[in-house]
Structure 1
Amino acid sequence: MKQQPFVGFLLALITAMAWGSLPVALKQVLVSMNAQTVVFYRFLTAAIVLLILLGLSGKLPKLRQFNLYYGRLAIIGVLGLAGNFFFFSSSLKYIEPAVTQIFIHLSSFIMLICGVVFFKEKLGLHQKLGLMVLIIGLGLFFNERLAFLVELNQYALGVLLSIIAATVWVAYGIAQKLMLRQFNSQQILMMIYMGCALVFAPTASLSQVAALNHLGVICFIYCCANTLIGYGAYAEALNRWDVSKVSVVVTLVPLFTILFSHILHFFYPIYFANPELNMISYIGAFIVVLGAMLSAIGHKLFKKNSNI
Structure 2
Amino acid sequence: MSMVSGRWKFGLLLALTTAVLWGVLPIALKGVMETLDPITTTFFRFALAALLLTPYILLRGRHASGLSLFSRLQSPRLFLQMLAAGLLLTANYALYILGLERTTAEAAQIVIQAAPMLLLLSGIWLFAERLSKLQWFGCISFITGLCVFFSPRFYDVFIAVNAYGIGVMLIFVAALVWTGYAIMQKFLLQQFSSQETMVVFYWIGTLAFLPFADFTALPQLSSLQWGLLAFCGLNTLIAYGSFAEAMAHIEASKVSAVLALTPMITVTTVHLIPIPGLVVEPITILTLCGAALVVGGSMLTALGKPSPR
Q: Could you say whether these structures have the same fold, taking a TM-score greater than 0.5 normalized by the shorter chain as the test?
A: yes
Are the equivalent residues in 1 in contact too, given 2:117–2:256 (CA < 8 A)? no
Q: How does 1:32-47 map to 2 (within 5 A)?
A: 32-47=35-50
* Cα distance in structure 1, aligned partners of 2:295 and 2:138: 9
Distance 1:193 1:123, change over 3 A: farther
Are the equivalent residues in 2 in contact too, given 1:40–1:201 (CA < 8 A)? yes
1:85 counterpart residue number: 93
Q: Aligned to 1:127, which of 135, 139, 148? A: 135
Are the equivalent residues in 2 in contact too, given 1:262–1:275 (CA < 8 A)? no
Q: How does 1:63-212 map to 2 (within 5 A)?
A: 63-117=71-125, 119-125=126-132, 126-150=134-158, 151-212=160-221
1:136 aligned partner, one-letter code: T
Are the equivalent residues in 2 in contact too, given 1:133–1:290 (CA < 8 A)? yes
1:251 counterpart residue number: 260
2:289 counterpart residue number: 283
Residue 96 (structure 1) shift? 0.6
Are the equivalent residues in 2 in contact too, given 1:261–1:273 (CA < 8 A)? no
Give deviations 1:140-177, integer Å, cap 9, x for gaps: 11121112212131111111111111111122123222
For the residue of structure 2 that corresponds to 1:121, the secondary structure is coil
Residue 235 (structure 1) shift? 4.6
Q: How does 1:219-238 map to 2 (within 5 A)?
A: 219-235=228-244, 237=246
- My pick for the range that moved more, 58-67 or 213-222, is 58-67
For the residue of structure 1 that corresponds to 2:111, the secondary structure is coil
Residue 121 (structure 1) shift? 2.9
Residue 79 (structure 1) shift? 1.9
For the residue of structure 1 that corresponds to 2:69, the secondary structure is coil
Distance 1:201 1:99, change over 3 A: same
Q: CA RMSD in A?
A: 2.3
Are the equivalent residues in 1 in contact too, given 2:105–2:266 (CA < 8 A)? yes
Determine if the alignment matches structure 1 residue 216 to structure 2 residue 220: no
- My pick for the range that moved more, 106-115 or 77-86, is 106-115
Residue 244 (structure 1) shift? 4.7
Residue 10 (structure 1) shift? 4.5
Are the equivalent residues in 1 in contact too, given 2:96–2:170 (CA < 8 A)? yes
* Cα distance in structure 2, aligned partners of 1:238 and 1:2: 11
For the residue of structure 2 that corresponds to 1:216, the secondary structure is helix
Q: Aligned to 1:295, which of 287, 296, 301? A: 301
Residue 72 (structure 1) shift? 1.9
Give deviations 1:246-267, integer Å, cap 9, x for gaps: 44332100000111111332xx
Q: Aligned to 1:261, which of 237, 245, 270? A: 270
Give deviations 1:178-217, integer Å, cap 9, x for gaps: 3223212211111111111111111112333222123222
* Cα distance in structure 2, aligned partners of 1:66 and 1:113: 33
2:105 aligned partner, one-letter code: P
- My pick for the range that moved more, 228-237 or 143-152, is 228-237
2:76 aligned partner, one-letter code: L
Distance 1:169 1:148, change over 3 A: same
* Cα distance in structure 2, aligned partners of 1:152 and 1:62: 46
Residue 27 (structure 1) shift? 0.7
Residue 52 (structure 1) shift? 1.1
* Cα distance in structure 1, aligned partners of 2:252 and 2:89: 22
* Cα distance in structure 1, aligned partners of 2:210 and 2:251: 38
Gaps of 5+ in 2: 63-67
With normalisation by structure 1, the TM-score equals 0.87
Distance 1:123 1:48, change over 3 A: farther
For the residue of structure 2 that corresponds to 1:103, the secondary structure is helix
Identical amino acids, percent of aligned pairs: 32
For the residue of structure 2 that corresponds to 1:74, the secondary structure is helix
- My pick for the range that moved more, 199-208 or 62-71, is 62-71
Gaps of 5+ in 1: none
